[in-house]
Amino acid sequence: MLGLDGLLGRLALGFEAITLRHARYSLYPFPVVVFAGLGVFYAIRRKRNPSTMRAIYLGFGFLVPLLLVYLFHFYLDPRFLLPALFIVFAAAAYGLVGANKRLKWGWAGFAVIALDAVVAGAIVVQTVAGVLAQTPRQSKLLDDVLAIRPRLTNAVVVSDISLQWLELFAGGDGTEFVGLNCLLTSPVREQTQVEYHLFFLSIKRLKGWTGPIPPILFPPTPDSPKGKLDLAEADQLADEDKKGRPVYLLLLGQATRAYFEELKPEFTEIDRYFTHEKIAHYPEVGLYRLKAR
């Protein structure tokens, strides 16, 4: 809210380190927050309008809990704050009008003029950026997964793609998904298949949490944080194959060499228990049939 994300250029919290691409965010929205503070100050000091006070109490009573969730949540996204930003902008408009009506020459007056200029500049910059923004490209990964989806009917699919993402676009029809691992790694940059939820749920389980978690073929253990073959899960996959239910391995096709080196020991372990046959290959993903040895 203070614009520090853009001002500093990098925001780190827990396991995440997010490098922001546009330094223009340092212009916005901190002057809006300053004016919002002035607006609240003017409204509370004068108490001129009961409806204004009710709006402030209601709006900030909604904003503060959302801000607390945003600050301590493992995934940072400004969308957490959108439902309550109406009160920020309403208070900012109230403060902007009040501050400019009271404008006098002096340091305070120059500060108000500077904030006016920064707000106007931020609005212009953001408007131009929005007008010139490129149309998002079609996801090739989505196209490939949708092409493979008919083969996944009533199958068990082990994958390094986000299980939440797969459930959304390839779920249903009796398909069951199993996480290959829970590495917090992005093998293909610019795409949203990073397995955040499995990673953090696994960390919680290692700390003693007993809640439900999706099945993982290579879950982390205290002696192997990067993952170790779950023999019970491997046996269950083998039993499904013996019953005639298809068991597939769905892998990203454009992984970096570093990510491939991470997966190499896992492939070695899989080959000890299963044979694999290539079923389909696309630029973004590959589908393999696993059969118990």
Boundaries of every domain in the chain: 4-132, 140-292
Instruction: Give the pLDDT score at 2.
Output: 46
Instruction: Give the pLDDT score at 194.
Output: 52
For residues 31, 37, 41, 44, the Cα torsion angle rounded to the nearest 10 degrees is: 140
Instruction: Give the pLDDT score at 254.
Output: 63
Report CA torsion sign: 42, 45, 47, 52. positive
Report, as ranges of residue numbers, the positions in the chain whose pLDDT lies below 50: 1-24, 26-27, 186-193
pTM to 2 decimals?
0.61
- Roughly what angle, to the nearest 10 degrees, separates helices 30-46 and 85-101? 70
Q: What angle do CA 263, 157, 290 make, to 5 degrees?
A: 70
Instruction: Give the pLDDT score at 79.
Output: 67
Instruction: Give the pLDDT score at 7.
Output: 42
Task: Return the number of other C-beta atoms located less than 10 Å from residue 102's C-beta.
Answer: 12
